[in-house]
Amino acid sequence: MKHSDLLSEAQGAFALACEVEAENRRAAADDIRFARLGEQWSARVMAERQAEGRPCLTINRLPAFIRQVVNDARQNKPAIVCHPVGDWADPKTAELLNGLIRHIEQSSDAEVAYDTALDFAVTGGFGYFRINTRYADDDSFHQDLAIERVADPFSVYGDPFATGADSADWNQAFVVESLTRKAFEARWKGAEVCDWTGGEGSERWGGGVRDGADRVRLAEFWRRETVSRSLLALSDGQVVAQDVYEAQKALFDAAGARVVGRPRPATSHKVTQYILSGAEVLETVDWAGRYIPIVPVYGEAIHVDGARRLRSLVRDAKDPQRMYNYWRTASTELVALAPKTPFIGRRGAFDTDSAKWASANTQSHAFIEYDGPEAPQRQPYAGVPAGAIQEALNASDDMKAIMGMYDASLGARSNETSGKAIMVRQREGDVSTFHYIDNLSRAIRHAGRILIDLIPKVYAAPRMVRILGAGGEANMAAINQPISGSLGVGSLEKIYDLSVGRYDLTVSAGPSFTSRREEAASQMIELIRAYPPAAPLIGDLLAKNLDWPGADEVAKRLATLNPGRQVVEGR
């Protein structure tokens, strides 16, 4: 395809994506500004009140609800778990894939990417993270996979025709970013400096002049096409793609696997990334995988009249928040304007000691003289306006009811008296907002699908890779090498071939390994208290789960005293 035709196609697709997403993006921007930036008074009302010298208080209660959902997800991290499926899938290779994915997540700070995407999904209705490749070292041709955060969700435009809960059915996507003119000219020497245009709020969310720097707006255009490929049947029963076989022919030859029969045609997907300016195609990159590596985390998704509406946690709580601000402002204003306990008396009663009477509300005087037969009377303070305070409390209760999160869910004292009742109320709050955390799990499951698809292609060369165990312990493994023995890092038990077999995955959410270890130690201590004879049997396991210096050494010494271990060794 000619570059001019591709550019024209991309501009048309981008215009359609902008049109379809306009309502969701407008509502999300309003939610974020309202809940996080505290822009909760209309400009007209604020200008009128400021002109009259009246207050506009903003007592923003929404971030506490947002943090409750996001931080709950941070405490219960979803984990990707691979499982072997079908012939030639190896359980040990599946375990290596698990360790490699944990290493990818740890080395690329995937937690930041997940947390940022969920934060935007809860606050605005949608967030994103992406998967990318990068060189393992500055002096190496080996590449690693990385999970990266998308700091600005408004820079991503998904496929307007997609209906899935993730991006598995995306056939196109755009990521809009801006570079300084200097960086643009250094990277693409001789290219015409021209902004990529289009999109609602383009001046606000990317491109143009920002912070006094002249910037150029660009677009990543991701396109997925259906392509044909050939499958080969090997003498050992494997079925592999012809391009995979040709790339790793030496490995298959060493294993004695040869092609039998004719190739079988099959359909697959090819993903291509284009870097576009407003005038030309700057770069073309053939992506290794069959999915567009941008993963959405949705808030609450509702399909109405053929359109998908993405809603945030705070969408329906904005009116009660406005009411809360208004009534707290009104009560503050009424208190500020209330008389400061004035004195009332007949005319002339304050002529004597008038200076003292004028300062009687602000200063203490030993005595004040008055004129006339009766003393001036002090008027009682009217007090805080009860009606305004009650309406503010009603607005506060409305916010809790709309979001399904009550005082116990937010850690505040409520009318529950027993610990069980408090836990039940907290659990009700978690259930009310669980769909946000579940949507994050769906997104991470699709990220695992993308990783499983990419790992055999990105890690295709013979190399040593670092893998992490469930407890964070690091090990090295050799992959794609038709040899065995020592490779300078100790004796290797197995050489893993990542191109063989099919693997499925699940995503489980639960406390982090550190939290589980602390919980295990606590439960073991309770068991020993209830049944002291168990102490010699599990003392070494208890020491392993304790987090203090020398715990591992104590565990080793206790293991020598374990009667169960002595019986096994005696056998």
Q: What is the pLDDT of residue 570?
A: 45
Distances from the Cα of 467 to the Cα of 58, 95, 143, 145, angstroms: 49, 10, 15, 13
Lookup: tokens for 460: 């295709």
User: Using CA atoms, how far apart are residues 223 and 286, in angstroms rounded to an integer?
Assistant: 10
Q: What is the pLDDT of residue 202?
A: 43
Region 116-139: mean pLDDT is 92
Q: How far is CA 208 from its chain centroid?
A: 28
Q: Which residues contact 526 (CB under 8 A, 6 or more apart)?
A: none
The 3-class secondary structure across 395-452, one letter per residue, is HHHHHHHHHCCCCCCCCCCCCCCCHHHHHHHHHHHHHHCHHHHHHHHHHHHHHHHHHH
Lookup: tokens for 78: 């979803």
Q: Are 146 and 125 contacting, i.e. CB atoms less than 8 angstroms apart? A: no
Region 337-358: mean pLDDT is 81
pTM more than 0.75: yes
Backbone angles phi, psi at 128, to 5 degrees: -145, 155
Side-chain half-sphere exposure of 43, counting CA atoms within 13 A: 0
Lookup: tokens for 553: 């050494």
Lookup: tokens for 277: 């300016």
Place 381 in a pLDDT band, splitting at 50, 70 and 90.
Answer: low
Task: Dump pLDDT digits (tens) for 548-561.
Answer: 777 778 888 888 87
Lookup: tokens for 208: 């143009």
Side-chain half-sphere exposure of 201, counting CA atoms within 13 A: 20
Mean predicted lDDT score pLDDT of the chain: 82
Angle between helices 434-458 and 110-124 (to 10 degrees): 140
Burial class (CB in 10 A: 0-12, 13-18, 19+), 369: exposed
User: Using CA atoms, how far apart are residues 24 and 17, in angstroms rounded to an integer?
Assistant: 11
Task: Give me the residue label for tokens 């902004």.
Answer: 195
Share of the chain above pLDDT 90, in %: 37
Q: What is the pLDDT of residue 42?
A: 92
Comparing C-alpha atoms, which of 390, 391, 403 is closest to residue 323?
391
Q: What is the pLDDT of residue 511?
A: 52
The 3-class secondary structure across 343-371, one letter per residue, is EECCCCCCCCCHHHHHCCCCCCCCCCCCC
Residue type, 324: Y
Place 4 in a pLDDT band, splitting at 50, 70 and 90.
Answer: confident
User: Using CA atoms, how far apart are residues 256 and 564, in angstroms rounded to an integer?
Assistant: 46
Distances from the Cα of 105 to the Cα of 290, 291, 451, 505, angstroms: 21, 19, 11, 16
Dihedral of CA 221/156/216/196: which sign? positive
Share of the chain above pLDDT 70, in %: 82
SS3 312: coil
Q: Which residues pair with 156 in a beta bridge?
A: 175
SS3 62: helix
Q: Are 513 and 469 contacting, i.e. CB atoms less than 8 angstroms apart? A: no
Task: Dump pLDDT digits (tens) for 38-91.
Answer: 999 999 999 999 898 888 999 999 999 999 899 888 887 778 888 777 656 677
Region 532-539: mean pLDDT is 85
Backbone angles phi, psi at 453, to 5 degrees: -70, -35
- Which segment of 200-204, 258-262, 380-384 scores lowest on mean pLDDT? 200-204
Q: What is the pLDDT of residue 154?
A: 96
User: Using CA atoms, how far apart are residues 490 and 234, in angstroms rounded to an integer?
Assistant: 33
DSSP notation for 142-191: -EEEEEEE-S-GGGEE--TT--SSSSTT-SEEEEEEEEEHHHHHHHSTT-
Residue type, 52: E
Region 229-239: mean pLDDT is 82
pLDDT at 568 over 50: no
Q: What is the pLDDT of residue 341?
A: 67
Q: What is the pLDDT of residue 492?
A: 43
The 3-class secondary structure across 247-304, one letter per residue, is HCHHHHHHCCCCEEEEEEEEEEEEEEEEEECCCCEEEEEEECCCCCCEEEEECEEEEE
pLDDT at 483 over 60: no
For 496, which DSSP code? Answer: B
Most confident option among 208-217, 305-314, 340-349, 469-478: 305-314
User: Using CA atoms, how far apart are residues 296 and 155, in angstroms rounded to an integer?
Assistant: 12
Task: Give me the residue label for tokens 């271990």.
Answer: 565
Give the chain's count of helices (H) and strands (E). Answer: 18, 20
SS3 29: helix
Q: What is the pLDDT of residue 281?
A: 93
Place 92 in a pLDDT band, splitting at 50, 70 and 90.
Answer: confident
Place 450 in a pLDDT band, splitting at 50, 70 and 90.
Answer: very high
Q: What is the pLDDT of residue 209?
A: 41
Backbone angles phi, psi at 405, to 5 degrees: -125, 115
Task: Dump pLDDT digits (tens) for 278-317.
Answer: 999 999 999 999 999 999 999 999 989 888 999 999 999 9
Q: Are 238 and 205 contacting, i.e. CB atoms less than 8 angstroms apart? A: no
Q: What is the pLDDT of residue 117?
A: 96
- Which segment of 70-79, 135-144, 197-206, 523-532 scores lowest on mean pLDDT? 197-206
User: Using CA atoms, how far apart are residues 455 and 196, in angstroms rounded to an integer?
Assistant: 33
Dihedral of CA 423/425/431/432: which sign? negative
User: Using CA atoms, how far apart are residues 334 and 330, in angstroms rounded to an integer?
Assistant: 6
Task: Dump pLDDT digits (tens) for 168-225.
Answer: 999 999 999 999 999 999 999 989 999 998 655 444 444 344 444 589 999 999 999 9
Q: What is the pLDDT of residue 386?
A: 83
Q: What is the pLDDT of residue 213?
A: 55
pLDDT at 489 over 80: no
Q: Which residues contact 23 (CB under 8 A, 6 or more apart)?
A: 307, 309
pLDDT at 1 over 70: no
- Which segment of 17-21, 460-464, 506-510 scores lowest on mean pLDDT? 506-510
Q: What is the pLDDT of residue 490?
A: 41
Region 424-429: mean pLDDT is 59
